[in-house]
Amino acid sequence: MKRLKFLITGTKGQLAKEFVKELTNRGLEFTALTKEELDISDTNKVFKVIKEVKPDIVINCAAYNLVDKAESSPTEAIAVNTLGVANLAFACVDIKAILVHYSTDYVFDGTKVGFYTEEDRPNPLNEYGKSKLFGEFFIQKVLENYLIFRVSWVYGEGRQNFIYKLLQWAKEREVLQIAFNEVSVPTYTGFIVEKTLKALEKGLTGLYHLVPRGYASRYEWAKLTLKLFRIEKVLIPVEKEIFNLPAKRPDFSAMSCEKIEKALGEEFEEWDEIYSKVYSNYVSIS
């Protein structure tokens, strides 16, 4: 990759942390900013910072991802996931920078039989999904040079993921009830970062589903996690509806990675192969 300058937003999040680690390892030039340093919902601040930094590529890892809270506070989700993304898009136009943005499988309603492709029509069931979809629209209307990657069930170094929550529950309970009728694709931050940088190297633009191959229910994911972490608990598959969560989730939102595989000229691994490699040597997580 030629010498480029990156700007990473949302640096405290698990995906941004992975980008910082990888860009550092590669000796690439980047500026990584926390929400306190750059709140993307602040229009003036976004334009000021981007004009000062003058990045070639903006990697937006900032997001409002409190799915249930968004039901009662949709304006908070819209401020970041829609208006904040619009701010970045307009600022990128100003300096002719490429914007890389991450969306979600929650733009789909889960009623399709089979994997979702980029051609399928979104129909989000919750406020979080709507706010992310509107963010996609802004980018596509404003920019020509952009990459939108829809990802799902992201996990990595951090606490804002299913693994951390599951392991906390395992510390507190002997019996764990996990949904069997919520299905998608667990996706590792290291996988996302690696494929994003390859896409940039190849000069790709547009919308892609960036997930490994395969799919899993929350129950199947939890079962593999407890096995890898050598934790013995009673795991009971239940319908997700019993949790009575504020935000409705799609039953099956697994996405096809075929388009991005073809664009990158490679075949991805299955999600559980990646997951097993990442956590094969772990016995605990902080």
pTM of the prediction? 0.94
pLDDT at 283 over 80: no
Q: Which are the contacts of 133, defined by CB distance < 8 A and separation ≥ 6?
A: 103, 107, 122, 124
Which is nearest to 211 in space by CA: 198, 222, 195? Answer: 195
CB 261 within 8 A of CB 268: yes
Residue 2 pLDDT: 52
From the candidates 128, 146, 219, 279, which is the catalytic residue? 128
Assess whether 106 carries a catalytic annotation: no
Residue 286 pLDDT: 43
Query: Would you place residue 201 in the very low, low, confident or very high pLDDT band (cuts 50, 70, 90)?
Result: very high
Domain 5-161+185-214+254-270: homologous superfamily in CATH: NAD(P)-binding Rossmann-like Domain (3.40.50.720)
